[in-house]
Structure 1
Amino acid sequence: MNHLNQYLSQFCSIGLLGYGVEGKSSYRYIRKYFNELKIIVFDDSDEKLPEKDNAQKHLLKDWVKSIGEVDLWIKSPGIPWSELMEANKEKMTSQSELFLKYVPGKKIGITGSLGKSTTSQYIYDALKFSNKQGFLGGNIGQPLFNFVDYVCDDDVIVMELSSYQLKNISSSPDIAVLLNMFPDHLDFHLSCNDYFESKSLIGKFQNNSNVLIYNKDISSNYIIGNGKKVSFTAGKNEADINALDSKIYLENNQEIEINEKLFWKISDKLNLCAVVAVLLELGMNINDIENSLDSLSGLEFRLEFSGKINAIEFFNDSISTIPESTINAIKSVKDVDCLIIGGFDRGIDQKKLLEELLDRDTLKHILCLGDTGKLIHDTLKEKKRKGIIFLEDIKEVFHHIDKQNNIKKCVFSPGAPSFGMYKNFIERGQAFHEALMNWKK
């Protein structure tokens, strides 16, 4: 019996808070090994539990009524702690927490407001290129419980960890990566500081055999724990690992040449610093690192080049969900003259983005969608910004573009979540691509 099952075997009943992708994964794993264990699911969806199972399902708000009959609660990331104020935190855990504590292998955890999916994918792809056995999961790919049965002591697990997954954990990964921190998810966290503190937990419980790799621009208040500290930044000789021009500079005057196909994106300069730092900690030599980085390709919908259509170059950055990612996008694409922006409003401050849009004279067309698009449109209109228009949907965007004759490069970088318009950034990115292909015809 593995360590995770040894831990779970002491309980007679388990409550699952949430029955989405991760909740279903928890359910399948527990039921696979514990046929008689009582499972109670709390979720507001219409999803039905498997037939011929004695598990129960109730509305999320009714979880309080079962406090006395549940021995262990496993919370899905999307369930806000504000809805669980009466919870006994000692009885509350999560997939991330259980995986960190009880599953073997070397665990690499990546978090940050911008770039964690890209960085996680790059690390995983570099490991595959080097023929190292690894797994990718958490906030990217598949839930962690999906591959518990296949992990061995020598395997490497790359875990993308959101602030939702990190909040209230009490374990840290062997190698933790803290990429950056910008205000985000303020509809979930109590405050900006609460969000930042949740991110910082990725290194809090490390010991001196662990490593925390962090962006030097992050306040030292959030660089915590007893792990070895490795810093990175953009610039030379300012941190342990530095990105400048087309190179990453290491200690002892060593350097790594980076393929221009990766380094043209401003955010990727820092992402790749973190990737290099992780690969060095895993014992890879410089030549192997350079070769593995040459094999990398960009993440889908992260400033992805969609093609040149009707003399316009299009870039799909649907994964952009915060203002800083949009700023990075328009700084990365040289001579961009058209921006499609907007989505769900989570109450994030748009000041820096608005300043960037006001100052960027070469950006002749700003096409706004959704709640944040309306806010951006109205604010810039008040300031007499030219070339800005609010549109109802993606189809209207292409109707508008069709009437213009001076657009050369167009970036779709929403800078906000897709809620209310699309299921997620993937569906949004696909919708943009489909609209683009239909417009091409």
Structure 2
Amino acid sequence: MNSKLNDFKKKIKNKKVAVLGIGISHTPLISYLYKLGADITAFDKSDETRLKPTLEAFKGMDIKYSLGEGYLDNLKGFDILFRTPGMRYDIPQILAAKEEGTEITSEMEVFFELCPAQIFAVTGSDGKTTTTTLIYNMLKEQGYNCWLGGNIGIPLLSKIDEIKDTDKVVLELSSFQLHTMTESPHIAVVTNVSPNHLDVHKSMDEYVFAKKNIFKHQSAEDKLVINFDNDITRGFANEAQGDVVYFSRKASLEKGAMLKDNMLIFKDGESVTEIVKADDIVIPGVHNIENFLAATAAVIDCVDRDVIKKVATTFTGVEHRIELVRELNGIKFYNDSIASSPTRTIAGLNSFKDKVILIAGGYDKKIPYDALGPVIAEKVKCLVLIGQTAPKIEKALKDETERTGKGTDIPVYRCGSLDEAVQTAYRFASLGDTIILSPASASFDMFKSFEERGNKFKEIVNSIKA
């Protein structure tokens, strides 16, 4: 019996609860809290017309709403407030509610408090979703009853009644979710850390601080898996509370998962376990070798080597991550819409042996693009740009050409829409070329999410007549 859950159910009944944001994660949360007897007011900056399809899910429920412009003006008199991850915890309205005595929390914070199962959680600037999915698949293939949540899967608080202590929970966690966390998972994985989301975080230091919460509250019995090749994550070992296990594509480790002579191995002192040849991993790119190393280090204590190998040789990847969309007239189209930062696009470009036609650009998260210039100069034959960050990306290439003389022959096209960008790239392409959407930017200037952007790209590509 989950005594913590029973206590929560008693606590929430008849309480005045504010839920900020009526999105994918909060729709089932609202329904769940309503069933527990909470008096709910749902807040969202969108108006009733835009939210109509979502609000249909609450038809027949006695739920109050505060919507549209000034939707947070009525944030008073609540017992508990559930904050959406994308909203800062220190905006004036939330601070005023806290000062008034309102308990400020989130769906993920409450889930951590109540979950009876072992939790594996993954964060990082790049590679979170693939690594999380790999861990989930490995555990599931081993025979565990598994739950997938956080940024992917389903909102798990609404499923808390079904989760048993013998299950395994796998979460992908963003810096926004981690920022106010006061509990950490049993097995924490940090894939890497590089500048990201500086449009929301006040500084790089704040961003790194948020990431650290994935392990700062661990105990000595817990495990932290970190990237030895990343300067920032390597330094996390100094603050770790639990057992530190590294993974590395470049270094030779005394303990951890590494790449040696084209073989993924796990080493623990004198004990060496060969996992799988790098060439046998189905999904392309050296960054995916790193993702497999991270996942291996996370599950090595509870998943057999043969199971890890099976997943490596059968897993074809996650949608919107170097996803082959179509081959048309000898031209391949890849969707890498997940690439919302320069480091992610660099990893995508390095996955191809030959030069590619790159479609990039989007919403500006106020992060630097300098590192992208040298890689574009080396790996791109034509650059097609859209969105707010188009000038930054073009400048990164221009700075590289002025500094080294490389990339002077790369044509650059500015386009007003994704449709125009795809058509421009296709007109430039010839037999054997690869066109890849890898924006190095968020989607919010043109699309609601990277998924919507990727789906639109696939729709455009598939509409081109042979």
TM-score, length of structure 2 as denominator length:
0.87
Which residue of the partner structure matches residue 24 of structure 1?
27
Deviation at 1:59, TM superposition (A): 4.5
SS where residue 183 of structure 1 aligns? Answer: coil
Measured at CA, do residues 182 and 32 of structure 1 come closer, stay the same or move farther in structure 2, by a change above 3 Å?
same
Tell me the amino acid that sits aligned with residue 249 of structure 1.
I
> C-alpha offsets along residues 12-56 of structure 1, whole Å, 9 cap, x if unaligned?
22221222122222211111122xx32222222223653444432
Which residue of the partner structure matches residue 130 of structure 1?
142
CA contact (8 A) 1:310 1:440 kept: no
CA contact (8 A) 2:359 2:438 kept: yes
Measured at CA, do residues 440 and 132 of structure 1 come closer, stay the same or move farther in structure 2, by a change above 3 Å?
farther
SS where residue 14 of structure 1 aligns? Answer: strand
Pair 1:104 & 2:116 matched: yes
CA contact (8 A) 2:385 2:414 kept: yes
Which residue of the partner structure matches residue 300 of structure 2?
280
SS where residue 343 of structure 1 aligns? Answer: coil
Structure 1 segment 118-267 matched on structure 2, within 5 A: 118-216=130-228, 217-219=230-232, 220-223=234-237, 224-238=239-253, 240-244=256-260, 246-251=262-267, 252-258=271-277, 260-262=280-282, 264-267=284-287
Match of 2:415 among 383, 391, 412: 391
Deviation at 1:339, TM superposition (A): 1.0
Give the Cα–Cα distance (whole angstroms) in 2 for the partners of residues 405 and 272 of structure 1.
33
Tell me the amino acid that sits aligned with residue 274 of structure 1.
A
CA contact (8 A) 1:196 1:222 kept: no
- Range with bigger deviation, 77-86 or 372-381: 372-381
CA contact (8 A) 2:28 2:158 kept: yes
Deviation at 1:254, TM superposition (A): 2.0
- Range with bigger deviation, 406-415 or 20-29: 406-415
Tell me the amino acid that sits aligned with residue 156 of structure 1.
K
* Aligned pairs, number: 435
Deviation at 1:426, TM superposition (A): 1.4
Deviation at 1:65, TM superposition (A): 4.8
Structure 1 segment 352-391 matched on structure 2, within 5 A: 352-358=371-377, 360=378, 363-378=380-395, 380=397, 385=408, 386-391=410-415
Match of 1:95 among 93, 107, 110: 107
Identity %: 29
Pair 1:301 & 2:325 matched: no
Give the Cα–Cα distance (whole angstroms) in 2 for the partners of residues 55 and 264 of structure 1.
48
SS where residue 339 of structure 2 aligns? Answer: coil
Give the Cα–Cα distance (whole angstroms) in 2 for the partners of residues 294 and 405 of structure 1.
32
Give the Cα–Cα distance (whole angstroms) in 2 for the partners of residues 190 and 232 of structure 1.
30
Pair 1:344 & 2:332 matched: no
Deviation at 1:401, TM superposition (A): 3.3
Match of 2:339 among 313, 320, 323: 320
CA contact (8 A) 1:126 1:295 kept: no
Give the Cα–Cα distance (whole angstroms) in 2 for the partners of residues 328 and 52 of structure 1.
48
Give the Cα–Cα distance (whole angstroms) in 1 for the partners of residues 303 and 170 of structure 2.
16
- Range with bigger deviation, 121-130 or 396-405: 396-405
CA contact (8 A) 1:42 1:57 kept: yes
Give the Cα–Cα distance (whole angstroms) in 1 for the partners of residues 10 and 231 of structure 2.
41
Measured at CA, do residues 351 and 378 of structure 1 come closer, stay the same or move farther in structure 2, by a change above 3 Å?
closer
CA contact (8 A) 1:377 1:390 kept: no
Give the Cα–Cα distance (whole angstroms) in 1 for the partners of residues 426 and 83 of structure 2.
48
What value does the CA root-mean-square deviation take over the aligned residues? 2.3
Which residue of the partner structure matches residue 42 of structure 1?
43
Give the Cα–Cα distance (whole angstroms) in 1 for the partners of residues 337 and 299 of structure 2.
28
Which residue of the partner structure matches residue 414 of structure 1?
439
Tell me the amino acid that sits aligned with residue 240 of structure 1.
G
Give the Cα–Cα distance (whole angstroms) in 1 for the partners of residues 198 and 305 of structure 2.
40
Pair 1:76 & 2:93 matched: no
Which residue of the partner structure matches residue 96 of structure 2?
86
Runs of at least 5 residues in structure 2 that lack an aligned partner in the other structure = 403-407
SS where residue 136 of structure 2 aligns? Answer: helix
Deviation at 1:245, TM superposition (A): 5.3
Tell me the amino acid that sits aligned with residue 298 of structure 2.
V
Deviation at 1:379, TM superposition (A): 5.2
